[in-house]
A and B are shown apart, each in its own frame.
Chain A
Amino acid sequence: MSEIGDAITGQIDRLLNDGNGPTRLRRLEAGEWLAETWTALEEQGLTLALVPEDAGGVGLSWADAVAIWQVLGRHGAPVPVAEAMLANALLASPVEGVLTLGASDAPFGRFAAHAVTEAGVRPVTGHTPGLNLAREPRDALRLGASLTAGGPSPRAMRLGLALLRAAQMAGAARHALNLAVEWANTRKQFGRPIGKFQAIQQSLALVAGEVAALESAVGIAARAVDARGLLDAGFEIACAKIIAGEAAELAASRVHQVFAAIGITEEHELHHFTRRLWSWRDEGGSERAWAAEIGAEAISRGGAALWADITSRDVRTA
């Protein structure tokens, strides 16, 4: 990660670590727009983070971007700043304000001024509300005429969203694991913290392995995008989204098991993260969809090509 990326990541973490995290997510899920959070993050330059410096942006790498998205995921991503960051990365020239991606199931679409579609940047003129299972807004939008001559390809948007969600899932899963560790060290049964029991230790160690694999897969994908661009990093992004989907099932079930009843209460913050894992795995292509793509490719290339194909994708960074 670059120095500036590192600084921005730390800044966002401090900003969102204000003790109001769960309250924010509750407000969002009740239908509120968190204007002050959006403004604070926009002021960090996040919406322009992936735009090159000569186009007025911050010029961060995709490796920096996934680090930022992981931090946002650790805080439940209460505003669509990651989506705006991605949308601007896909545009020839960036757009100010709240931006969403696509016209259907548009993340936070009701709060967006513009949507980025294949046709270009289009003003949002109305919406039919929709929610994913995490109760995040996913709206069907009515859009005005495009303000630009064309927009990103559906493939680029899907790849970008897959990487974004995989990175956020890495953050959400990491946070859920941290919560479970903290709980296991505090909650006492049979006269000692439940984290002293090997059954709990082994279970959470398994989650730690999956979360580490997911973080690695996201890092590998970002490295590939930095080296070859989004459209030529489809394999690595597919891998990241597949691992994300698989890690989500395991991490969510195990951390809930550790928390038992308290973890499924509305009052506890855990569900904000497990419900996001269950939602985000379906967005930007499910693990099934991505596995079908790279699996078909592997089968058509044949077993003898498999290893050579994997090593031929090795990236050398400057």
Chain B
Amino acid sequence: MRFDIPNLPEGTDALRANVRAFLAGYDWGPAVRARSWMGFDRGFSRELGKRGWIGMVWPKEYGGHERSGLERTVVLEELLAQGAPVGAHWIGDRQSGPLILRLGTEEQKRRILPGIAAGELAFCIGLSEPDSGSDLASLRTKAERTNEGWKINGRKIWTTFAHLSDYMIALVRTSPAPEGGSRHAGLSQFLVDLRTPGITIRPIKDMLGEESFNEVTFDDVLLPADALLGREGAGWEQATAELAFERSGPDRVLSSFPALSAGIDAVGPEAAVPIGRLVARLNTLRGMSLSVAGMLEQGQSPAREAALVKDVGNSFEQHLPEAIRALLEPEDTPPALRALLHDLVQLSPTFSLRGGTREILRGIIARELGLR
């Protein structure tokens, strides 16, 4: 594995300045900044859509802007550095849209992609089930063929923003895993309109007392034939490729960045050494994340590199609020920073869970090393 830093294209300086100037017009409080891509704000997503900052790399005929992947990365970095509330379009822009662009039918692309790019359509990811977490191949939600299309039964859980989203891309079983064959065979992905009758979405309160994830029940849900996304039976390969997008971005390094910028203003010069260590790590991990973006831009599939960057990045994001807290007595901490840290401490356990747990990622890294 090599992590060479790509050249950011010439135009990115101006683009970065534009995004920065736009974001300077917002004055979000700590609750918004702490959540950032885990915060849902359709109004803000529409504003970004108007400016061409969603679906940036997609073809213009599907509502995209035909910019480079590195230009997109620059926009993502700026949004995350400010803790902007980008959750309403984040999943669509990051993985559902690219998946549809790559595998969808012409009709699916025309129907869905312009809406994502405009910040109008929100997506959620239907992977985990009550009995299937890291062992995803064990999932049991199934789709059966009908005369008109498909009938889905089963249950998805921990589905972030299902209650606020328009579509889910669900991974379900369309045929039993062959006896003695691969457990990964027989899975397929479906593009599910969440307004379809038979779908029940029940928000699950999290430890912050908020509703961000859900249980989604499918009870004889009838989907049209064109709800199938990609190839029947190829769901595992498709979903795995999607995870490379999910794992590779700057959102795996910068989730708690606002705690560092705010923390720097609250500490005194005696905190130089610990602050310097955090800044060094931030700069390095940001470079590694850029490097993965560069590989994607060159058409490579850096799935293992993305797993490694996500693992080291998540550890940093998780450590950051603790590290700032360790430099300040609670009574000396400015109220806004204190509120930010309170939220980040409660949000940070998810950093090393969502998109593949730390243990699964380290298993991937170990295999790459030649172990197991």
Question: A residues within 8 Å of B by Cβ?
Answer: 177, 181, 184-185, 195-196, 198, 200-202, 204-206, 208-210, 212-213, 215-217, 219-220, 223, 235-236, 238-240, 242-243, 246, 287-288, 290-296, 298-300, 302-304, 306-308, 310-311, 314-317
By a CB distance below 8 angstroms, the chain A residues around B362 are 201-202, 205-206
Do A239 and B372 have beta carbons less than 8 Å apart?
no
**A300 and chain B: residue at smallest CB distance:** B269
Do A212 and B1 have beta carbons less than 8 Å apart?
yes
Partner of A181 from the list B20, B257, B272, B369 (CB cut-off 8 Å) is B369
A sample of 15 inter-chain contacts (CB < 8 A) reads: A181-B369, A181-B371, A196-B372, A208-B308, A209-B311, A212-B312, A216-B5, A220-B5, A242-B281, A291-B272, A291-B276, A292-B273, A298-B275, A298-B279, A303-B263
Do B264 and A298 have beta carbons less than 8 Å apart?
yes
**A216 and chain B: residue at smallest CB distance:** B3
**A308 and chain B: residue at smallest CB distance:** B20
Partner of B279 from the list A206, A210, A295, A308 (CB cut-off 8 Å) is A295
Do A295 and B287 have beta carbons less than 8 Å apart?
no
By a CB distance below 8 angstroms, the chain B residues around A242 are 276-277, 280-281
Contact with A along B277-317 (1 / 0, CB 8 A): 10111111111100100000000000000001001100100
The answer for the CA separation of A308 and B17 in the assembled complex, in Å, is: 10
Kindly state whether residue B180 has any CB partner on chain A within 8 Å. no
Number of interface residues of B (CB under 8 A): 55
The answer for the CA separation of A201 and B366 in the assembled complex, in Å, is: 5
By a CB distance below 8 angstroms, the chain B residues around A177 are 369
A310-B283, A311-B77 known; A201 and B5 CB under 8 Å? no
Kindly state whether residue B328 has any CB partner on chain A within 8 Å. no
Do B260 and A212 have beta carbons less than 8 Å apart?
no
A209-B365, A215-B3, A296-B269 known; A306 and B260 CB under 8 Å? yes
Kindly state whether residue B359 has any CB partner on chain A within 8 Å. yes
By a CB distance below 8 angstroms, the chain A residues around B287 are 216-217, 219-220
Do A291 and B371 have beta carbons less than 8 Å apart?
no
The answer for the CA separation of A309 and B324 in the assembled complex, in Å, is: 20
By a CB distance below 8 angstroms, the chain A residues around B263 are 303
Do B273 and A205 have beta carbons less than 8 Å apart?
no
The answer for the CA separation of A310 and B257 in the assembled complex, in Å, is: 12
Query: Which residues, 95 to 139 on B, are CB-close (under 8 Å) to A?
Result: none
By a CB distance below 8 angstroms, the chain A residues around B277 are 242, 246, 287, 291, 295
**A246 and chain B: residue at smallest CB distance:** B277
By a CB distance below 8 angstroms, the chain A residues around B335 are none
**A310 and chain B: residue at smallest CB distance:** B283
The answer for the CA separation of A124 and B5 in the assembled complex, in Å, is: 41
The answer for the CA separation of A193 and B209 in the assembled complex, in Å, is: 46
Interface of chain A, main secondary structure: helix
The answer for the CA separation of A205 and B308 in the assembled complex, in Å, is: 9
Contact with A along B61-78 (1 / 0, CB 8 A): 000000000000000010
By a CB distance below 8 angstroms, the chain A residues around B359 are 198, 202
Do A243 and B272 have beta carbons less than 8 Å apart?
no
Query: How near does chain B come to A18, taking the closest CB pair, in angstroms?
Result: 24
Do A294 and B279 have beta carbons less than 8 Å apart?
yes
Query: How near does chain A come to B11, taking the closest CB pair, in angstroms?
Result: 12
Kindly state whether residue B7 has any CB partner on chain A within 8 Å. yes
A219-B4, A303-B263 known; A290 and B276 CB under 8 Å? yes
Kindly state whether residue B262 has any CB partner on chain A within 8 Å. yes
Do A209 and B284 have beta carbons less than 8 Å apart?
no
By a CB distance below 8 angstroms, the chain A residues around B265 are 302-304
Query: Which residues, 238 to 271 on B, are CB-close (under 8 Å) to A?
Result: 257, 260-265, 267-269, 271
By a CB distance below 8 angstroms, the chain B residues around A243 are 280-281, 284
**B368 and chain A: residue at smallest CB distance:** A208
**A223 and chain B: residue at smallest CB distance:** B5
Partner of B262 from the list A202, A292, A303 (CB cut-off 8 Å) is A303
Do A310 and B282 have beta carbons less than 8 Å apart?
yes
Query: How near does chain A come to B283, taking the closest CB pair, in angstroms?
Result: 5
By a CB distance below 8 angstroms, the chain B residues around A204 are 366, 369, 371
**B363 and chain A: residue at smallest CB distance:** A201
By a CB distance below 8 angstroms, the chain B residues around A213 are 281, 284-285, 288, 312
Kindly state whether residue B25 has any CB partner on chain A within 8 Å. no
The answer for the CA separation of A202 and B287 in the assembled complex, in Å, is: 24
The answer for the CA separation of A290 and B283 in the assembled complex, in Å, is: 14
**B371 and chain A: residue at smallest CB distance:** A195
By a CB distance below 8 angstroms, the chain A residues around B31 are none
Do B273 and A288 have beta carbons less than 8 Å apart?
yes
The answer for the CA separation of A304 and B312 in the assembled complex, in Å, is: 25
Do B365 and A295 have beta carbons less than 8 Å apart?
no
A296-B269, A299-B268, A306-B264 are known; give 12 further A-B pairs, CB within 8 A: A201-B363, A202-B362, A204-B366, A205-B311, A209-B308, A212-B3, A213-B285, A216-B291, A220-B287, A242-B280, A291-B280, A294-B276
By a CB distance below 8 angstroms, the chain A residues around B257 are 307
Contact with A along B335-371 (1 / 0, CB 8 A): 0000000000000000000000001011101101111
Do A306 and B279 have beta carbons less than 8 Å apart?
yes
Kindly state whether residue B227 has any CB partner on chain A within 8 Å. no
By a CB distance below 8 angstroms, the chain B residues around A185 are 370-371
By a CB distance below 8 angstroms, the chain B residues around A294 are 276, 279-280
Partner of A316 from the list B8, B16, B284 (CB cut-off 8 Å) is B8
The answer for the CA separation of A304 and B24 in the assembled complex, in Å, is: 11
